[in-house]
């Protein structure tokens, strides 16, 4: 009887403590900014490496929320992020034009590759992505698309357009509506072709019977842009810390850090900031 009351009191206290702790977590953390970025960048493992260097240089914690490009920009529009790093130039420029981003800086690029079954049933092996897509569509060999409004998906659709196909349709074209990793999982499972960023591909371990078939086409160039979310639209944005991070990214130190990231000895991302190119 007595112990009932003591137990109840103890439980109540602990629940309260847990809630307070959970809710106070934001206030107790070190100085941090929220970076909205893409799953492909996250899954390549770049952030683990890059943000460690950023933390060492700036004493700043960068919290990455990795979602598709479309969602990342949407998040930023709602004010749920301080900085955005994505790879869809038209969407980024629109973002700035709408007033949600302060300024766009080109930071780095990696490239896309077309992966597919080792046997290459559509005969696409080579250096031309547009020809490859034409052949896949003609032969109607299964193709796994992300279909998730991401930078990769946007690029994929641009290539289809170059191949003369406005929007691929048919049972062979499978939209997974998911990130790069899950899409590659699906492609491996279906022995299908897919467009992937090299970073995710290099760290992807469930390749099944897939291998790189098309690479080196200059059109497969995948440009990343970084933007500070406009504090004029969202006054709570951590503009000082955010700008510090952006400045570091485009600084020689940041650019060197990007270049230093390797998987199996291969460099994934190529820093390409130069003052003349960005700022639109």
Partner 1 sequence: MQDIAGSLALALRLVAGGDPELWSIVALSLEVSLASALLACALGLPLGALVAVREFPGRRGLVVMLNALLGLPSVVVGLVVYLLLSRAGPLGSMGILFTPGAIVIAQTILVIPLVAALSRQFVEDAWLEYREQLTSLGVTPLRAVPTMLVDLRIPLLTVALAGFGRAASEVGAVMIVGGNIEGVTRVMTTTIALETSKGDLPLALALGVILLAIVVSLNALAYGLREWAVKRHG
Q: Which residues bind partner 1 (CB under 8 A)?
A: 4, 11-12, 14-15, 18-19, 22-26, 29, 34, 39, 43, 47-48, 63-66, 77-80, 178-182, 184-185, 188, 200, 203-207, 234, 236
- Of the two residues 165 and 263, which places its CB atom closer to partner 1 in the complex? 263
Measuring CA to CA, which residue among 83, 190, 104, 102 is closest to residue 145? 190
- Of the two residues 55 and 223, which places its CB atom closer to partner 1 in the complex? 55
**Smallest gap from residue 262 Cβ to partner 1 (A):** 17
**Smallest gap from residue 275 Cβ to partner 1 (A):** 32
Paired tokens of 105: 């800086």
- Of the two residues 66 and 131, which places its CB atom closer to partner 1 in the complex? 66
Beta-strand (E) ranges in 166-232?
A: 173-175, 193-197, 210-214, 221-229
**Smallest gap from residue 61 Cβ to partner 1 (A):** 8
Radius of gyration, alpha carbons of the chain: 22
- Of the two residues 29 and 139, which places its CB atom closer to partner 1 in the complex? 29
266 close to 272: Cβ distance less than 8 angstroms: no
3-state secondary structure (DSSP) of residue 217: coil
**Smallest gap from residue 259 Cβ to partner 1 (A):** 22
- Of the two residues 145 and 200, which places its CB atom closer to partner 1 in the complex? 200
**Smallest gap from residue 114 Cβ to partner 1 (A):** 18
Give the angle 35-38-40 at the CA atoms, nearest 5°: 135
CA–CA dist 236, 80 (Å, integer): 10
CA–CA dist 270, 224 (Å, integer): 10
């Amino acid at each position: 009887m007595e112990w009932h009351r003591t137990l109840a009191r103890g439980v109540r206290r602990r629940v309260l403590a847990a809630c307070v702790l959970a809710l106070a977590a934001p206030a107790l953390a070190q100085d941090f900014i929220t970076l909205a970025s893409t799953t492909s960048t996250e899954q390549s493992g770049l952030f683990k490496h890059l943000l460690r260097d950023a933390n060492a240089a700036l004493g700043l914690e960068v919290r990455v929320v990795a979602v598709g490009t479309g969602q990342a920009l949407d998040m930023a529009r709602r004010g749920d992020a301080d900085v955005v790093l994505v790879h869809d130039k038209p969407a980024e420029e629109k973002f700035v034009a709408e007033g949600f981003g302060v300024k766009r800086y080109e930071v780095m690029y990696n490239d896309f590759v077309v992966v597919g079954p080792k046997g290459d049933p559509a005969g696409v092996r080579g250096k031309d992505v547009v020809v490859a897509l034409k052949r896949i569509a003609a032969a109607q060999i299964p193709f796994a698309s992300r279909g998730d409004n991401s930078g990769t998906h946007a690029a994929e659709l641009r290539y289809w357009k170059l191949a003369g196909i406005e929007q691929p349709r048919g049972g062979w074209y499978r939209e997974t509506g998911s990130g790069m990793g899950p899409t590659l999982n699906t492609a491996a499972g279906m022995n299908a072709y897919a467009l992937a960023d090299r970073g995710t591909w290099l760290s992807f371990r469930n390749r099944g019977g897939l291998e790189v078939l098309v690479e080196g086409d200059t059109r497969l160039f995948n440009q990343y842009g970084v933007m500070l979310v406009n504090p004029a639209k969202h006054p709570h944005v951590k503009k000082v810390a955010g700008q510090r991070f952006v400045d570091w990214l485009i600084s020689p130190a940041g650019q060197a850090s990007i270049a230093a990231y390797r998987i199996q000895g291969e460099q994934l991302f190529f820093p390409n900031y130069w003052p003349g190119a960005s700022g639109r």
